[in-house]
């Protein structure tokens, strides 16, 4: 999320500096507000669209770059009416060139203005994560060399494990959601995979672990200690990873640890 916020700030400042025709005639502050009103909902729609689509099994099985592009295309269609509304409310002199046209024509023209840049920008924003996925994929062992499915009660968990490089072993420590990606921590290291967090938690429900936050899952046998202070509860995992525990999960975590012991 901090990375996405930084990208949003950079895009807003960049568009304000370039000053495309849609913001022509606006002052500096109004131009900044105009482009922020475009960038913020656009990035939110892009991230939300990819996370929602990622919950579809067939979609999540596609290569990462395909998922990114398809999500950007769909998000562009959803963003068109929002962009048109922002133009009408905050736009400069160049935003009203087609004011007399029919609504569908105006939506089509609006979509044509930002469609290609939006797809390219979303691909570039995801590029660092996609490169990590590519590097990890090169280290994944061949099927005949891979360990047996560690969760035989849920055969569909094989799809999750197939994305984790064999060099990291199969002893999970924790999972952390990073937008539509998951940071997977094992006793041998960590990696980034493109997989829905909610689905991963569901597939791992038969393992000795639990969700402790809307963005974090921990293996109970890998917890070093649970620390409280300043109204916060932190799970310190063996190996040094520290993850926050939400209020709604604290009682369940305490009961689960007591049961495990």
For residue 144, what pLDDT band results from cuts at 50, 70 and 90?
A: very low
Query: For 117-132, what is each residue's pLDDT tens digit?
Result: 999 999 999 888 888 7
Residues whose CB falls within 8 Å of the CB of residue 53, separated by 6 or more in sequence, listed in order: 59, 60, 67, 70, 71, 74
Percent of the chain with pLDDT strictly greater than 90: 33
Six-digit token string for 76: 């562009």
The mean pLDDT of the chain is 82
For residue 10, what pLDDT band results from cuts at 50, 70 and 90?
A: very high
Average pLDDT over residues 34-50: 91
Query: For 21-30, what is each residue's pLDDT tens digit?
Result: 777 777 788 8
Residue 61 clears pLDDT 70, i.e. is over it: yes
Dist CA 220 CA 207 (whole Å): 9
Farthest-apart Cα atoms in the chain, separation = 72
Query: For 166-199, what is each residue's pLDDT tens digit?
Result: 888 888 999 999 877 899 999 998 888 888 888 8
pTM beyond 0.75: the answer is no
How far does CA 176 lie from the centroid of its chain? Answer: 11
For residue 111, what pLDDT band results from cuts at 50, 70 and 90?
A: confident
């Amino acid at each position: 999320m901090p990375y996405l916020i930084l990208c949003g700030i950079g895009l807003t400042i960049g568009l304000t500096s370039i000053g495309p025709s849609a913001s022509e005639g606006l002052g500096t502050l109004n131009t900044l507000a105009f482009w922020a009103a475009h960038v913020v909902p656009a990035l939110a729609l892009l991230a939300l669209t990819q996370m929602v689509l990622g919950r579809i099994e067939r979609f999540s099985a596609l290569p990462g770059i395909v998922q990114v592009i398809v999500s950007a295309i769909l998000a562009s269609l959803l963003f068109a009416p929002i962009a048109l509304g922002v133009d009408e409310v905050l736009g400069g002199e160049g935003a009203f060139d087609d004011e007399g046209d029919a609504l569908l024509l105006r939506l089509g023209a609006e979509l044509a203005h930002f469609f290609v840049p939006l797809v390219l920008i979303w691909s570039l924003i995801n590029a660092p994560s996609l490169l990590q996925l590519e590097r990890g994929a090169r280290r994944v062992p061949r099927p005949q060399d891979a360990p047996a499915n560690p969760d035989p009660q849920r055969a569909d968990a094989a799809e999750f494990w197939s994305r984790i490089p064999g060099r990291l072993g199969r002893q999970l420590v924790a999972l952390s959601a990073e937008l539509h990606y998951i940071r997977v921590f094992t006793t041998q290291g960590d990696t980034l995979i493109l997989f829905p967090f909610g689905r991963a938690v569901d597939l791992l429900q038969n393992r000795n672990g639990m969700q402790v936050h809307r963005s974090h899952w921990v293996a109970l046998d890998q917890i070093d200690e649970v620390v409280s202070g300043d109204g916060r509860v932190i799970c310190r995992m063996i190996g040094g990873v520290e993850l926050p525990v939400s209020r709604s999960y604290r009682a369940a975590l305490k009961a689960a640890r007591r049961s495990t012991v």
